[in-house]
Structure 1
């Protein structure tokens, strides 16, 4: 059977238990039609690049799926109906990742560094940004 990665974004005002229930519901849809969910990862509440349906953040969830194409079509149909899901995407892959996904490894690295890592706590480059404000008024 072909392999798929299905990622969906749930509304920001949902509790983590509700997001887990959405992932469980998706798994039930797949397993009811002879497919298998090999991994479910919750990437947590993350900022969006732009507002989607008045949401600035969303809960990200990824499922690794081993199922025929008809199962994926049904999963996408049911996901599209659900009002709690604001975006989703399913991609066919050659093989499924064995360990944690790239996003989970990135989150672990950020936690180890104690924050955003690499930025030193600054959001912008302060070198020379105030040069016009420090003019010589007495000359």
Structure 2
């Protein structure tokens, strides 16, 4: 299995917090049904968009980190494309050593630049 991340921007016009939770649960189910392992779900909440999308100026952001086979990402992409509440999404493969490369682990030299 390979590590992946998906960032999803949902429309801000959903009725309630339960509607957002049901959409996130649906995405988690797609990953689980394909044999994927969900690592983390981060709900970033409602944030301002850099530019309007479909006349929306805000969006509800969700980050999913998971391990799966490539076929699961294709199915997740298909589901995200046909879901009306999704404004934008991006599914990318994470570097396999992403957990070991935490930003806090970078040593900084005296001039403020990272040491080689």
Over aligned residue pairs, what C-alpha RMSD do you find? 1.8
Report the secondary structure of 1:45's partner residue: strand
Aligned length: 100
The answer to whether structure 1 residue 81 and structure 2 residue 65 are counterparts is no
- Distance in 2 between residues matched to 1:16 and 1:65, nearest whole Å: 23
- Output aligned runs, 1:33-112, within 5 Å: 33-95=34-96, 97=99
Structure 2 portions without partners, runs of 5+:
104-116
Structure 1 portions without partners, runs of 5+:
103-139
- Bigger relative contact order, structure 1 or 2 (CA pairs below 8 A, ≥6 apart): 2
Greater strand share, 1 or 2?
2
Change (3 A) 1:82 1:48: same
Shift of 1:38: 1.0
TM-score normalised to structure 1 length: 0.67
Q: Which has the greater radius of gyration? A: 1
Counterpart in 2 of 1:115? none
- Distance in 2 between residues matched to 1:41 and 1:97, nearest whole Å: 16
- Distance in 2 between residues matched to 1:10 and 1:59, nearest whole Å: 5
